Amino acid sequence: MRNAFAAEVTAMAAEDPKLVLLSGDIGNRLFDKLRGGYPTQFMNCGVAEANMMGVAAGMALSGLRPIVYTITPFTTTRCLEQIRVDVAYHNAPVVIVGTGSGLSYASLGPTHHSLEDFAIFRAIPNIRVLTPYDAPSLRSVLREAVGSGVPTYIRIGKKGEQDLVPPESAVGIGKTAVARKGTDICILSVGTIGPEAIAAADTLSESHGISAEVVLVNTVKPLDEKLLAGLAARFKAIITIEEHSKSGGFGEHVSAFLAQNSIATPITCLGTGDKFMHSVGSQSYARTYFGIDAASVVAAAQDCLKMPAGVAS
Amino acid sequence: MPEAPIQSDIGSLEPIAQMLRYRIIKTSHESGTPHLGSCLSCTDLLVFFYWHILNINPADPSSPQRDRFLLSKGHAAPALFQVLAERGFFPRSDLDGYGEDGSLFGEHPPTPSALPGIEAATGSLGHGLPMGLGMALASRIADVPYSVYAVLSDGECNEGSVWEAALLAAAQGVSNLTVAVDYNKWQATGRSNEVLGLAPLAEKWQAFGWCVTEIDGHDFGQMADAVEKNKNDPRPKAIIANTIKGRGVSFMEDDNNWHYRIPTADEVKLSAQELGIEV
C-alpha cells in the first residue's frame, strides 16, 4: 500500500501545486520521484512529529493541502495534542496518513503497533477516519480526502497487500465493497484485515455450510448508519473484525448503534484484547495471538448462529 | 491587497501601550480573567508588531498576502483582544461581555474562523511556533510573500515542540519567520531559569541556527532596530526580549502572584494613576 501511496501522491502533486507531503524521516527512496519532480512539494520534517503536525496545520490554514506521513503510532499518539488542537479544532484540511498500521509491524514490537487509533479519533470532533483495505481503495480515498478539504486520518498497511476486489470496484469514502456474497451472516471487515475475513468466508462456505457476506469497510468515522440498519435486517448475525482494540473500536461503535436503535441482530466483535504483545512474530502470528485471524472468524460465525436473536457477545 | 503597516512613529507607541494596559487590567477586574502579569510583560511587543511592523488590513483579515502574527503564549489573549479591537478588527463594544457565558473573549484566543484577526487558537503552549513555521513555509511553497511573527513566553520554551520547530526552521532557512521571546524570567510557579535550565536563552536559539538579537523588551527603539538590522539575514530570527512581568504597575512588577491574581477596584484605580490614564 505504501508504494501505491507514493505513486498516487506523486501523481496528485503533479496536478495540484498546493499538495505538500511532509514525512517524518521515513520512506527512504519511496518518494524519490516526488522529491525529484516537485522538490518544493516534499519536506522531510525529521523525527519531530509534534512539530510536523503543527507545521501541517499552519500550511493548511495558509491554503496548502498537506499530507503528513509516517509510521502510525508516530503520526497519531505521538502528536495527538497537535492533531486535536492544531488540526481538528482549527478544522484545518490536513490529511494524516499512518503507514504500517495495526499489527503490520508486529515484528517491531508494541512501540510500532497501533491498536487504539480508532478509539482516540472517534472522540475528536471534525476529523474523519478512513481505512482503505487494498491499494486501489487507498488511491481512491486518498484522492477524495485531499480534494475534500476535511481533516482526515487514513490508516494504511505496509507493502504486498493483495487487491481484495477488482481495482475498478474501488469505492469512495463512506461506501463499502462486497468481497464475498452471502446470505446467513455478514462479516464487516475494517481496512487491511480483509484477507482474514475473506478466508473465513470461504472456509465457512466450503466446510460448514454457512454463507457469509464479506463487506469491506473503508470508513470508520463517520459511521454509515443506514448501511448498518440494512445489513442488520438482511442477515441473521453480524461479525465485525478489525486490527484494533475491541475497546473503542469499530465493533463497539456498531454495537452501540444497534443497541441504541433496538436492533436485535446478534453481533460479535473481533478485535485485540486489553494487553500488549510482548513476543515478536509475523503479522499472521500476531493476528492469531489476538484472536483476529480467519480461524477466529470461523469460530465466531459458528457460535453466533447458535445464539438466539437479541443476545450479543 | 493588505494595507501597508500603520508604521506608527516609534514615539507614539508608548501611550497606546499604556492605554491598552489599563484596559487589560480593568477587564481582568471586571471579568475575573487571570494572567495579568503575562499580558503586561508582552503588551509593548504586541503594540510594536501591530502598530509598526505587520502588513495587515483589519478590513480584509484573511487576505492571502497578510503578515501572520501568532500569540504562541495564548494565555496573554486578554492583551491580544484589546490590541485587535483597537486596531479595528472588531468593534471595542464586542468586548463588553468579556468572559460572560457565550462570549468569544476569555483566557485564550478562539479559532480564526470564530474571530477575525486571530491566526491560531493557542493556549496549549508550544503550538504557535510550529503552526507559524508552517505558515512561513507555505509562503515560500505557494510563492505568496509575507512574514510570520510569533511571540512566545520563556516558560513556553519548556516545550519540546518549540525546539523541534527551531530545528526545522533552521534546516529550511525560513527567513520570513521571527520569534520574539517574552523573557520575563517567570513561569506559572517559579523562576523560568530555575524550573528548567533555560539560561542562557539567547545562546540556545543561536546554537539552533537562528539569527538572535537580545533587547530590552520595553524599548520600542531597540525592537525596531532588531527587526531592521536583520531583515536581510537568511536565517529565521529570534528576538530575546528581556521584559518585566506585570510591567507598568509598580505593585505588579516582577511579582509572580499576578500570574493568577485578579485586581480589586482600588487596584484598578491605582493602576490607572501609575499608567497616566484619566478615568
> Domain spanning A167-306 has what CATH number?
3.40.50.920
> How many Å from the N-terminal Cα to the C-terminal Cα in chain A?
33
Task: Give CA–CA dist A214/A185, Å, rounded.
Answer: 9
The b-or-e profile of B32-57 (16+ CB within 10 A means b, else e) is ebbbbbbbbbbbbbbbbbbbbbbbbb
pLDDT in tens, A143-159: 999 999 999 999 999 99
With a cut of 80, say whether residue A300 has pLDDT above it. yes
Q: Tell whether B66 lies on the interface with A, counting CB pairs under 8 A.
A: no
Q: Which residues contact A227 (CB under 8 A, 6 or more apart)?
A: A176
Q: Is residue B229 part of a domain?
A: yes
Q: What is the ipTM of this complex?
A: 0.96
Q: 77-116 in B: which are within 8 Å (CB) of A?
A: 111-113
What value does the mean pLDDT take over residues A7-28? 96
**Residue B3 pLDDT:** 52
Q: Is residue B160 part of a domain?
A: yes
**Closest to B218 (Cα-Cα) out of B57, B87, B40:** B40
Q: Is residue B187 part of a domain?
A: yes
Q: Tell whether A125 lies on the interface with B, counting CB pairs under 8 A.
A: no
Strand extents, DSSP E, A35-117: 42-44, 65-71, 95-99
pLDDT in tens, B99-111: 999 999 999 999 9
**Residue A311 pLDDT:** 47
Neighbours of A40 (CB within 10 A): 13
Task: Give CA–CA dist A134/A126, Å, rounded.
Answer: 25
Which of A49, A55, A94 is most worth mutating to test chain B (most B CB atoms within 10 A of its CB)?
A: A55
Top pLDDT among A167 and B53 is at: B53
What value does the mean pLDDT take over residues B2-19? 82
**Mind giving me the DSSP string for A153-195?**
EEE---S-PPPSS-GGG---TT-EEEEE--SSEEEEEEGGGHH
**Residue B237 pLDDT:** 98
pLDDT in tens, B181-223: 999 999 999 999 999 999 999 999 999 999 999 999 999 999 9
With a cut of 70, say whether residue A313 has pLDDT above it. no
Q: Is B273 helix (H, G, I), strand (E, B) or coil?
A: helix
What value does the mean pLDDT take over residues B251-275? 97
Q: Which residues contact A28 (CB under 8 A, 6 or more apart)?
A: none
**Residue B279 pLDDT:** 87
Q: Tell whether A307 lies on the interface with B, counting CB pairs under 8 A.
A: no
Top pLDDT among A305 and A189 is at: A189
Task: Give CA–CA dist A9/A16, Å, rounded.
Answer: 10
Cell of B108: 485564550
What value does the mean pLDDT take over residues A275-291? 97
pLDDT in tens, B167-182: 999 999 999 999 999 9
Q: In which band, very low, low, confident or very high, does the pLDDT at A308 lie, cut at 50, 70 and 90? A: low
Shortest CA gap B94–chain A (Å): 22
Q: Which residues contact B266 (CB under 8 A, 6 or more apart)?
A: none
Nearest CA in chain B to A41: B141
CB B39 within 8 A of CB B24: yes
Cell of B11: 514615539
CA atoms within 13 A on the CB side of B209: 17
CB B47 within 8 A of CB B82: no
**Residue B1 pLDDT:** 46
Look up residue A12 and give its amino acid.
Answer: M
Hey, are the CB atoms on B132 and A58 less than 8 Å from each other? yes
Give A-chain residues touching B130 at CB under 8 angstroms: 50-55, 57-58, 82, 86
Task: Give CA–CA dist B240/B257, Å, rounded.
Answer: 24
> Across the interface, which of B64, B119, B165 has its CB nearest the CB of A51?
B165
Q: In which band, very low, low, confident or very high, does the pLDDT at B7 lie, cut at 50, 70 and 90? A: confident
Q: Is residue B8 part of a domain?
A: no
Q: Tell whether A80 lies on the interface with B, counting CB pairs under 8 A.
A: no
Nearest CA in chain B to A22: B134
pLDDT in tens, A222-241: 999 999 999 999 999 999 99
Report the percentage of chain B scoring pLDDT > 70: 98
Q: In which band, very low, low, confident or very high, does the pLDDT at A167 lie, cut at 50, 70 and 90? A: confident
Shortest CA gap A23–chain B (Å): 12
Pairing between strand B186-187 and B190-191? antiparallel
Q: In which band, very low, low, confident or very high, does the pLDDT at A27 lie, cut at 50, 70 and 90? A: confident
What domain range includes position B130?
14-275
Which class in CATH covers the domain with range A2-155?
alpha beta
> Across the interface, which of B111, B127, B141 has its CB nearest the CB of A20?
B141
**Closest to B98 (Cα-Cα) out of B85, B89, B87:** B85
**Residue A312 pLDDT:** 47
Task: Give CA–CA dist B156/B208, Å, rounded.
Answer: 17
Task: Give CA–CA dist A164/A175, Å, rounded.
Answer: 15
What are the start and end residues of each CATH 3.40.50.920 domain in chain A? 167-306
Q: Tell whether A17 lies on the interface with B, counting CB pairs under 8 A.
A: yes
Strand partners, A214: A180, A187
Shortest CA gap A88–chain B (Å): 11
Q: In which band, very low, low, confident or very high, does the pLDDT at A307 lie, cut at 50, 70 and 90? A: low
CB A269 within 8 A of CB A298: no
Task: Give CA–CA dist B215/B234, Å, rounded.
Answer: 20
Hey, are the CB atoms on B141 and A40 less than 8 Å from each other? yes
Hey, are the CB atoms on B138 and A64 less than 8 Å from each other? yes
With a cut of 70, say whether residue A33 has pLDDT above it. yes
Q: In which band, very low, low, confident or very high, does the pLDDT at B5 lie, cut at 50, 70 and 90? A: low
Give A-chain residues touching B120 at CB under 8 angstroms: 58, 61, 86, 90
Q: 208-227 in B: which are within 8 Å (CB) of A?
A: none
pLDDT in tens, A52-67: 999 999 999 999 999 9
Q: Is residue B196 part of a domain?
A: yes
pLDDT in tens, B70-109: 999 999 999 999 999 999 999 999 999 999 999 999 999 9
Q: What is the mean pLDDT of chain B?
A: 96
**Residue B4 pLDDT:** 54
pLDDT in tens, B114-155: 999 999 999 999 999 999 999 999 999 999 999 999 999 999
Q: Tell whether A197 lies on the interface with B, counting CB pairs under 8 A.
A: no
Which of B124, B127, B179 is most worth mutating to test chain A (most A CB atoms within 10 A of its CB)?
A: B127
With a cut of 80, say whether residue A310 has pLDDT above it. no
What value does the mean pLDDT take over residues B232-251? 98
What value does the mean pLDDT take over residues A257-278? 97
**Residue B190 pLDDT:** 95
Report the percentage of chain A scoring pLDDT > 70: 98
Strand partners, A114: A102
CA atoms within 13 A on the CB side of B211: 18
Task: Give CA–CA dist A39/B214, Å, rounded.
Answer: 35
Q: Domain of B267: which CATH number?
A: 3.40.50.970
pLDDT in tens, A87-143: 999 999 999 999 999 999 999 999 999 999 999 999 999 999 999 999 999 999 999
pLDDT in tens, A202-222: 999 999 999 999 999 999 999
Hey, are the CB atoms on A62 and B134 less than 8 Å from each other? yes
Hey, are the CB atoms on B130 and A55 less than 8 Å from each other? yes
pLDDT in tens, B59-73: 999 999 999 999 999
Task: Give CA–CA dist B25/B35, Å, rounded.
Answer: 10
**Residue B136 pLDDT:** 98
Q: Tell whether A89 lies on the interface with B, counting CB pairs under 8 A.
A: yes
Q: Is residue B261 part of a domain?
A: yes
Pairing between strand A219-221 and A128-130? antiparallel
